[in-house]
Structure 1
């Protein structure tokens, strides 16, 4: 099974996630979901497989979520899904699908839990935060 990332190249979290996938030696299938909107069935499956509610999978920051009234807790999942498909910027990112599971990779290092192969080299995020050491082991997050 290929690794699939639902990617937004303008998002640092998405870029870091993609870089960690590549650091494992894999080249994923990249779906730029803003222009290649997933089907309703695919979106429902990803959200369920990631163990999220539809609302948890919806992005609020930098989206028309509030303007569209989607912050109303009374709205049904079906209506939220309709909005996400009509305005894909409402789909939180990045979702990654591998043979080991599906995750909404926020923070980006959550992708490490579902990559079939280990990290090949040290890795730091774009902001300089060290995530993987020289031996390919995950570095504990500073608290």
Structure 2
């Protein structure tokens, strides 16, 4: 099974999720360090739709200036535009497999799509 994780190595939850993927037999993991390789806006739309979350629900406030930028009260389109311009605004990790997409907070949620 192929799995793609949008990963931030500085994030404990992201590291734990990646470890689950790497320890699961038969899983071929692709790691996208999204801070180095930012999301395309269309990919964000697809990931959020498939994970069943809104851009607002995936907005990272801690450690960013998202609140100061007014993003918690912004429209979904404005949040998506900001996330595409600054990937640090996207909370993590997201994982995609043939079985679906999950916003893996907590990390054990990833098991639902393995």
Tell me the TM-score normalized by structure 1. 0.76
SS in structure 2 opposite 1:3?
strand
Provide, for residues 59-105 of structure 1, a one-character-per-residue CA deviation record: whole Å limited to 9, x for no partner.
11111111111122xx2111101111111111110000001110000
Distance 2:84 2:35 in 1: 10
The equivalent residue for 1:27 is 28
Distance 1:16 1:82 in 2: 29
How far off is 1:2 after superposition? 2.0
SS in structure 2 opposite 1:56?
coil
The equivalent residue for 1:53 is 54
Spell out the pairing of 1:91-102 with structure 2 (5 A cutoff). 91-102=90-101
Q: Which has the higher contact order (CA 8 A, sep 6+)?
A: 2
Unaligned ranges ≥5, structure 2: none
Unaligned ranges ≥5, structure 1: 116-143
The equivalent residue for 2:81 is 82
The aligned length equals 113
Spell out the pairing of 1:6-45 with structure 2 (5 A cutoff). 6-25=6-25, 26-45=27-46
Kindly name which structure, 1 or 2, has the bigger radius of gyration based on alpha carbons: 1
